[in-house]
Structure 1
Amino acid sequence: MTVLLPTKNGGTRAYVPRSEPFRPSGSAPLASRTVFSAAHVVADPYADTSPDGPAAVDWDATLAFRRHLWSHGLGVAEAMDTAQRGMGLDWTGAAELIRRSAAEAKAVGGRIACGVGTDQLTGGTGRFKEAGPAALGEVLGAYEEQLALVEGTGAQAVLMASRALAAAARGPEDYLTLYGRLLGQSAEPVILHWLGPMFDPALTGYWGSTDLDAATETFLEVIAAHPDKVDGVKISLLDADREVALRRRLPQGVRCYTGDDFNYPELIAGDAHGFSHALLGVFDPLAPLAADAVRVLDTGDTEGFRKLLDPTVELARHLFEAPTRFYKTGVVFLAWLAGHQRHFTMVGGLQSARSLPHLARAYELADGLGLFPDPDLAEARMRSLLDVYGAAR
């Protein structure tokens, strides 16, 4: 049977769903690359909430999805951008998510890294009357509170980019000082996260400059001052050449975790000078296929790795198309179609952030890759969504 899917030009096109899903060929631990999937949260659809109220999370379904990721050999990057951090999930909710997921990781032996930010400082970029020492002191205190919580759970810390720091810092020196303080007191090596403004416009000018070359120098200076406290860096700039250039300048032993959801196959495969590990939001829907590809890479078969992973890029670029920060909607939509949750509802009402044609194309691309364990269920749910929108099917 065919499904009539809406297109961006206002028309429809007939699509014949795939009948068989992709089936992973193995379950061996990943060896040649360290791979994290940034994971989404599952909302409680029956909670009486509003878009600007506290997030209501379905904890059982949220933790079950993390077990799904661990079962394929991936690590979980928790309470980060993909979990709607700062876009529906506040610090209170994130703290509970970190505690629960870290405990679950211990129970099942899964690898976990958790986001450390400053989102308990409400008021956005207009919070501070002026940049300077007082504002930076508040930012440092917020980071320290979150770092203590994450390290207290036994999880690895990811020092995320901070909207508050972007507003409070007067220039590169303030970034050097604040990150130096944080790295000096971290108990274990952390992952530093550079999230570009395409993911969050409030982070424009991070590291003290809108000139990316100048910002890169400050970023590298932070790392060079504390190489023993930096496990790696996550680069989310959607610029493969810039990531490769930065990767080649990292101190010995400091890893590069690609966060480039447009160019990840080539960056993970690497070149004669090195490669990137991965911490990717797109690996949330791609988990079984991505893990299988890395196992192929573990055998030294780069061509086989690219043959598996390259076809996923079209879906990734679709999910992360501008405005990129709304990619979470497509990620959760695909989790619903795949049967990982019983509804398509998101914290903060973010299920409304992408159009029906966008979602229909995501379904088509994901189905073509065999990402739905039960293609019939995915088709039925896609048809139900079309009914809700009053679309012909």
Structure 2
Amino acid sequence: MRRLRNQATGLPVWWLELLMLAVLYYSYTGTRSVADASAGEAMRMGHDLVRFETFLHLDIELSLNRWLQSVPVLAVVCCYYYATLHFVVTPGLLVWTHRRHTRHYAQIRWTLVVTTLICLVGFFLFPTAPPRLLTGTSYTDTMSHFAGWGWWTGTASAAPNGLEGITNQYAALPSLHCAWSMWCGFLLVRFGRRPVTRILGVLYPAATFFVVMSTANHYLLDAVAGWMVLGVAAGSVALVFAWRRRVPTVPVGAVPVPVPPRESARPAGSAAPVAVANAGGSGPVPVVLAASTAAGRDPTAGSGAVEAAESPPSPESPPSPESPPSPESPESPAEPTAAQPAPPAEPASSARAAPAPDRQGPPATAPVPPVPAPAAPEHSLRSDRAIRPDGARAV
């Protein structure tokens, strides 16, 4: 399946943008063909709007149209405005948003597309003749009156000469000019960095409203309907994008990578795991598990210093083969035999002492932090008893 978005920018691919333009164009063409077949209904709809605005005292179109006709220079400027800016500013701002504000482009583009589609539905359901085409009224078709000053035709409003057939003459309700100009003004105010740009964002919709009223191309209610359509489209698109941001999505073609489970950190201090091993069957010996070994430390390094402080080594004395072990030294290791070689003697100056295999005591529940050993008195490091030549200890 081909990707619908550019992986670098996250924007739709170019052919998808062209497809949207083609859909909008042919939809507009379809509404034009339907409106041409219902010219009588479009005239009746136009007269109904004039009567309704007169009843509400909102019929300002005729006054603006007569005043503009009295100022020919301004009338020509308004004709150029109507024939050009509507088709230049809107796509220009769309491209500007695509290049400068990529993160907001999708929502802005869809707002314009939905607004246009709703207006096309209005053209199809409610074909309406503009004031300049109403029979029995005193409106002046300004675009036709000053057609000699520009490239537009005198029979199809802003359409260029020879392209009268591409326009829908009865697409007055709602006003697409007012909807698009308000969309452009919002972009200029929202993303403009300079005060001049923001001022133009306010003036452009207001100027468009004046031009479409004074040239008798739209009614006041057409403009209001166009602004309402833009508001509905913007709100709907904003809700959809807010919902999409809450729902996690996976890009097309992406393969999810399984994440290995993280090893739980072993608690330190009193919660460190401790196992009890039976050393030689003589009694339980506390053994600190992999929490210290995995970190590169000796699990008995902390307790060895304490044991060295608690049990100072006895002075070295050559073992006597004819003298039995003294009852006062129960922890003396057994004499090695020929079948059992004697283990290598550990230096007396070792920093730690290995735990005795037959030492009894409750299993440790946590490694004891190393504490500095108190200075032992001089007389505790050597024996207070002298050994007689016969092997017995002197009292």
Please give the TM-score of this superposition, normalised by the length of structure 2. Answer: 0.21
- Could you say which structure has the higher strand fraction? 1
Higher RCO (CA < 8 A, seq sep 6+)? 1
- Larger Rg over CA atoms: 2
Please give the TM-score of this superposition, normalised by the length of structure 1. Answer: 0.21
